[in-house]
Amino acid sequence: MLAGLGALLLSHVAAAYCIATTCDPKKQKCAVREPCEGKDCCVIEGEKLHWESRCLSFGVQENGSQLRHIPYGAADPIIRDAFGQWMKADCGGGKTPSFAMWDLGGSQGIVCDQPEFNVTKPNANVWIFRDDDWPYKDDGSTIAFTSTIYDKRTGALLDADVEINSLHMELTTTQVPRLVQKDLASIATHEAGHFLGMAHSTDHEATMYTYYTPGDLKYQSLEPDDEKGICELYPPDRDAPACTQPSPAHGFSRYCGNEPDDDRTTASCRMSAPRAEGRAGTLGTAAALVLTAAGRRRRRARER
């Protein structure tokens, strides 16, 4: 278990960081913060996406990435540490963000290898490596794809799944700079931010900045801008009951439930890697697919 408490309410408009909201620019006119960078403008209208409980959970799919020689036993602690970076963010006065994270994969991992949200059956917030297929566009530049289900009325997050493009990306776990390709720890820390409700930052030094440079290890930890954002989203004094253990929506299961999303909406975010020419890639957020009462947001990072 990883745990943390936190505080400090900061001005969203004046900061470089950005928090994802329920307002979908593809479906409606949303107020954005100026200045903004291209398509990655910070939407400031709508309800902030957030987990209501202080007890959050995730699990890594049991297969890990055989293609990239990253077994479950190696991937799980890297992703656990990525969440730990966010939970120990400095909110001032020795306080940290107000959520605790549980690794429900345990020693075996999650069996289900599909992103899904079950309306009546148990769920899991799963991290999946895609060794055999990548079912999304931009397969040569998209590193990872984080999707979240949320209540469109309140912004309350209900489910989050992360897919990592291990088929096309040379993922590495080494700390030796000259051997680093697409650093898994950096990818995981960035995507963990999206998992929690963070969008992209215009701060070039921030972990949530849009662009990623091949071989860069600096995204493994947070910068002050990231800490300010997560402390605004999860202040220590927020009105959320204390908890002793997490429970995903409708309970937890290591197995797929195979229920349709029903009336939930879909939105998401992709993370992209550098192309063959080695130019920087974005850790980008792009809103997609919003349906009715709830949403799955896809965020992406892409390279230029």
Q: What pLDDT does 17 receive?
A: 95
pLDDT in tens, 181-231: 999 999 999 999 999 999 999 898 999 987 778 899 989 999 999 999 999
Domains, the chain, in order of start with CATH, read 32-300 (3.40.390.10)
Q: Strand runs (DSSP E) across the chain, as ranges?
A: 32-33, 42-43, 55-60, 100-103, 126-129, 142-151, 157-164, 171-172, 182-183, 211-212, 267-272, 281-282, 294-300
What whole-number distance in Å separates Cα of residue 161 and Cα of residue 113?
10
Please compute the mean of the pLDDT values over residues 139-154 and round it to a whole number.
89
Contact 183, 78 (CB under 8 A): no
Percentages helix, strand, coil for the chain (3-state, rounded to 5) are 15, 25, 60
Q: Give percent of the chain with pLDDT exceeding 70.
A: 79
Please compute the mean of the pLDDT values over residues 2-15 and round it to a whole number.
35
pLDDT in tens, 20-43: 999 988 888 999 988 776 666 899
Q: Give percent of the chain with pLDDT exceeding 90.
A: 65
Q: What pLDDT does 296 receive?
A: 52
Confidence of residue 12 (pLDDT cuts 50, 70, 90): very low
86 or 218: which leads in pLDDT: 86
pLDDT of residue 61 exceeding 90: yes
Q: What pLDDT does 235 receive?
A: 98
SS3 65: strand
pLDDT of residue 298 exceeding 60: no
The backbone torsions φ and ψ at residue 83, rounded to the nearest 5 degrees and listed phi first, read -65, -35
Q: What pLDDT does 254 receive?
A: 97
pLDDT in tens, 249-266: 999 999 999 765 544 444
